[in-house]
Amino acid sequence: MQKVKPIRSVGFKERKNNIHSQDSTVIMKNALAFTSIFLVTFSCHIYAGDVSAGKEKSQVCAVCHGADGNSVNPVWPKLAGQHPGYIFKQLKDFHSGARKNVQMTPLAASLSEEDMQDIAAYYSSQKIKIGYASSKLLAVGEKLYRAGNASKGLPACMSCHGPNGAGNVAASFPALSGQHAEYTKIQLLAFRDNKRTNDFNTVMQIVSEKMTTDEIDAVANYIQGLH
Ligand code: HEC
Ligand code: HEC
């Protein structure tokens, strides 16, 4: 078991360009995705959540997600340190039914937009506890995350989620670093099986379609230790 050391520099830009030149459909879809992402980001910035009100309101969430957003059960996502705009969007999506889950749907139903902003502000102000990656699938996972798979037109995860998994606030790409491998796997399978369809312009459905279940296991393991 080990924490993954990020390799920051080599060829980040070049690799991204290489992958973009492999699959023009993905580039097109990504370009569309970026446009809508900026619109949503803009609208999210109109309200700023209140951290202490959010702490109060998140008490009902703590039983699963942890008081500080670090859940213990690996099927419940860690929310600590996640970008507030992403948390807000997911809560809105559970509320509207765009994203479905037996546990989250009824909980989000009772939240107002202000509650969602406050809770998002609170969790994002907390510090995530990074997990550990097992060494078994590490090399495969690292390669997929950092370089993708050009022969299948799979873009590098880091081109959107960042070299250290910190995501990108401006573009609304969520942070992935340190997340439970089991939760990440559930999400990638849900995107691949079209059970989770709330991603902008199906960007994650397109990505996950290009991965085998073994590759999903490997990349989820890598992400658990990434920071
Ligand atoms: C009974 C356990 C449980 C409780 C209580 C709970 N959640 Fe969740 N939450 C989950 C599960 C399970 C998921 C993953 C759903 C899926 O697989 O799509 C989740 C997902 C989420 C996500 C999406 C995270 C991501 O990375 O995409 C957010 C945000 C969230 N919950 C916020 C909340 C908030 C806010 C509350 C309190 C109002 C809450 N949850 C209460 C179980 C719970
Ligand atoms: C073109 C940009 C892009 C690329 C490349 C990309 N992602 Fe994503 N990813 C996104 C966006 C945008 C979302 C948020 C979707 C939403 O709003 O629900 C996301 C969401 C996710 C989530 C859900 C996070 C959560 O907390 O529920 C996971 C897991 C994920 N991506 C993993 C990956 C992996 C692994 C790869 C590489 C194999 C990858 N992504 C490549 C843009 C991208």
Mean pLDDT of 47-65: 95
CATH, range 43-124? 1.10.760.10
Ligand nearest to the CA of 109: 1
**Spatial separation of the C-alpha atoms in residues 29 and 44, rounded to whole Å:** 22
Q: 226: helix, coil or strand?
A: strand
CATH, range 12-25+130-225? 1.10.760.10
Residue nearest to atom 38 of ligand 1 (CA): 61
Atom of ligand 2 nearest to the CA of 219: 35
Residue nearest to atom 36 of ligand 1 (CA): 61
- The response to whether residue 119 sits with its C-beta less than 6 Å from ligand 1 reads yes
Domain boundaries of the chain, sorted by first residue: 12-25+130-225, 43-124
**Spatial separation of the C-alpha atoms in residues 99 and 95, rounded to whole Å:** 8
| Identical topology for domains 12-25+130-225 and 43-124 | yes
Residues 112-131 pLDDT 10s = 999 999 999 999 999 999 99
- The response to whether residue 174 sits with its C-beta less than 6 Å from ligand 2 reads yes
Q: Which residue has the higher pLDDT, 1 or 189?
A: 189
Residues 78-99 pLDDT 10s = 999 999 999 999 999 999 999 9
Q: What separation in Å is there between the alpha carbon of 181 and the centre of ligand 1?
A: 16
- The response to whether residue 103 sits with its C-beta less than 6 Å from ligand 1 reads yes
